[in-house]
Amino acid sequence: MLHFKCQHTPPLNLIRTKPPPSPCGARLSSAVAVNGRPLVLLFSAAGSLLMANVRRSRPLTVSAAKSSQSTTTIDPPSDDNKIKGTLVLMKKNLLELIDLRASLIDGVHELLGKSVSLRLISAVNTDPGNGNQAKIGKPAYLENWITKFTPLTAEECAFEVNFDWDEKIGVPGAFIIRNEHGSEFYLKSLTLGNVPGEGKVHFDCNSWVYPADKYKKDRVFFTNKTYLSSETPVGLKKFREEELVTLRGDDVKKGELQKWDRVYDYAYYNDLGSPDKGEKYARPILGGSTEFPYPRRGRTGRPATKKDPNSESPLPLIESLFIYVPRDERFGHLKMSDLIAYALKSISQILKPDELATLLGHQKEFNSLEDVLKLYEGGIELPDGLMRFVSSTTPAETVKELFRTDGERLLKFPVPQVIKEDKSAWRTDEEFAREMLAGLNPVSIHRLQEFPPASKLDRNVYGDQTSKINKEHIADKLDGLSIDEAINKNKLFILDHHDSLMPYLERINKTDLVKGYASRTLLFLTNDGTLKPIAIELSLPHPGGVGCTSEVYTPSSQGVESHIWQLAKAYVAINDSGYHQLVSHWLRTHAVIEPVIIATNRQLSVLHPIHKLLHPHFRDTMNVNAVARQILINAGGVLENTVFPAKYSMEWSSVMYKNSWVFPEQALPKDLIKRGMAVEDSSASHGVRLLIEDYPYAADGLEIWSAIKTWVEEYCSFYFKTDEMVQKDSELQSWWKELREEGHGDKKDEPWWPKMQTVEELIESCTIIIWTASAYHAAINFGQYPYGGYPANRPSISRRFMPKEGTPEYEQLKNNPEKAFLETVTPQLQTLLGMASIEILSRHSADELYLGQRDSQEWTTDTKILQASENFRNKLKALEERVTKMNKDDKLKNRTGPVKMPYTLLYPTSDPGLTGKGIPNSVSI
């Protein structure tokens, strides 16, 4: 749903006003008032412009006259026997600036009788003489359109509409709206206040309504009542079915979709490459093949590229923000402003990297960590050329926000939380390990169940990939336990980025910038509940083509060995950063949720209870993903320039989808059990017991998961009393079938898909969807800048291998370890690009809706459901108090760690901005 809030005061009051009787022979053109002075513009028969004061309180209607001139007459309806309605809408605005041309044209249309009309549709009575279709009332017109003050910013306006009451209509179940104006408006709601026998009737609309000539059928909106497919009132069935046909695009010609099209359809990821720019920018199509399977995205219908008829052409940068998604999926004006700032800060999309390097001068490295700290404490001076370019292409206020210049050429960033209290604690082994439990990617650590760690890669293809970590490496680091004892006591854990990377590593290391390793990191659980790293294995493909070569590093705190250990941890962080961004984040939230959104809109009516349940969790996701395909995950985009898989980034994520994504395992309890981080325990509060009790992501996550599941269970059980009701609900079955066979069509034959035959399967599936879109995404996304905004803590690229003794690099590591570290990890340019990107991605917009919140208090008429919703919000509120209390518990060392950074990523609510907390309803950024 779209939601707008605006508090700006317009400098110009442009008000449509009421016209006086027209001078003889004049025809009305437009009525306006400037700063409160009512005027009307008229054109005489001779074409001369006239002005007059105007007075009008009701819409005008036009009747054809016998003369060559049409006459305008007022048709005042009687106030007797009326149903009074209030319609809330927002007139067309574009990025907070009113479209003056649209306003004038709308005024002309009002004066000429081309207004906004509404007709009520009966929910209870049909017309036997018309095929038992619903009774439809007479048109009623929106009143005072041209006299209603419209500010220069998006703001709600309430209009009166009076319907002639016809007892044959009975209780309205829907209404038809027809927009005869020249521009669209955002329709928020309609409320009828005095319906005989019913009282108040409310319609939640939340949709853009375009001029009637853009639609094949007039728009229809339903009341906030909820009906299963089989329970739909007879008169509404036709309208319910026709609405789904429209949303599926069954009656829309193939080709490029227009902004007013309301089509939800599927497409492959065939728009990531730009083959017309050369082979360097060609990328494989993801989806539709066994080699590169992928979830589907929303169809745009853009034309093919010239060199590859199967690839969709990209858009220019500024147009990419307006790429097609169904209009109601587009950002509100506040979110759009955020994305424009994001696009401008992603400088790699404005200039080519070599041009940027020239503008930034020849300084490609940070010379020391003090240079990095200047990004927050004083800023780094930008060359004149870059500032001139940005200043000439960017509004002044945006420049001020982007560069915080205040007259100086300084690029300055907010201080990340990870160094706010202590600038060096990030270096510690304890913090390195803690972030696997409470950091940016706390979903990859596993319990070690065999030693040495084995590989699941095919030996016939990759040879022996078994870990080279042996007993001698770790025996003295287990607090007196043997390896077998440590495994049996659930004391050994592993962060394994070996099997996922090894098949791609040779190709990745042949790219211009990257020199990386596959990695395995072993950790030991100490008696105080914290983890300590005890060995890191870095591996490369064997030069002979089969097997691998490995080096094992162990902790050291003295001499060059301590610097080597610090670099080993950096290589691990680089692998974890790439896996986080491309798999944990993009694939497992953004990509997998989009086909759910498409299937829901195509197969579940807005009247269906499951549509109402899931809809808040889809807000902004399709628009975010569409823009990301143009500027973030595309060929040459931000991710390819800032994470180590480079040009193979999205291809690699496809292989991860193929090998590891299983829908039922997205449930948090099952994920924890699969990774060995928890065991089933019926006596535990959530049915599982954590093997690391102080595992902040899991501890808070299980509380959120339980709250979501309780809410979903109460909701679904209210509408589906039996398994048979699930089985016989035609819309529900069509939805689940299409989600599997179309949305995730490359995995349609997997045996693990729920069959959707029971209420429990419905509850579990909806809980997984809501969890993924809300809490899981929040935990993975909003810590990006708090943890990764300090690039030394979460570097994303390695440019050279571990220095070997006897080389200049090794001597540099001994004599100037900071310089050696910084010349190994992400260079300055990519660092700035990455920081600029994740700063925006980590921010909450001012119009954010958090878990449990709705943009309307009247989204349903079912009081038991409204009470269950309130209980859900109260439970989340109590969890906020729980998180705060646990973060103050000194015994729970992983809650804050050496960096003294409380774990709040699963704290349900937040203020706007960069907060490191808050769970939005949806994948909204």
Q: Which residue numbers are catalytic?
A: 585, 590, 777, 781, 925
Is the omega angle on the peptide bond into residue 786 within 30 degrees of 0, that is, cis? Answer: no
Q: Which residues pair with 642 in a beta bridge?
A: none
For residue 706 the two structure tokens come to: 């339980």
For residue 399 the two structure tokens come to: 């420049």
Q: What does the DSSP assignment read for 776-835? A: IHHHHHTTHHHHHTSTTTS-----SPPPPTTSHHHHHHHH-HHHHHHHHS--HHHHHHHH
Computed on alpha carbons and rounded to an integer, the radius of gyration of the chain in Å comes to: 31
Measured CA to CA in angstroms, residue 606 lies from 170, 734, 772, 837, 862 at distances of 22, 15, 22, 35, 15
For residue 121 the two structure tokens come to: 């549709």
Measured CA to CA, the distance from residue 403 to residue 389 in angstroms comes to 13
Question: Do 638 and 348 contact (CB within 8 A), yes or no?
Answer: yes
Distance of CA 345 to the CA centre of its chain: 19
Question: Residue 888, class by beta-carbon neighbours within 10 Å (0-12 exposed, 13-18 middle, 19+ buried)?
Answer: exposed
Residue 208 CB-half CA count within 13 A = 23
Q: Which of 204, 208, 31, 200 is nearest to 105 (CA)?
A: 31
Q: Which of 33, 333, 36 is nearest to 155 (CA)?
A: 333
Measured CA to CA in angstroms, residue 624 lies from 208, 270, 903 at distances of 19, 17, 26
In single-letter form, the type of residue at position 521 comes to T
**Cα torsion angle, 345, 508, 821, 422, sign:** positive
Q: Which residues pair with 678 in a beta bridge?
A: 690
Q: Which of 366, 205, 295 is nearest to 661 (CA)?
A: 295
Question: Residue 77, class by beta-carbon neighbours within 10 Å (0-12 exposed, 13-18 middle, 19+ buried)?
Answer: middle
Question: Do 925 and 619 contact (CB within 8 A), yes or no?
Answer: no
For residue 515 the two structure tokens come to: 């020199």
Measured CA to CA, the distance from residue 624 to residue 597 in angstroms comes to 13
In single-letter form, the type of residue at position 771 comes to W
Torsion of CA 105, 109, 112, 115, to 10 degrees: -160
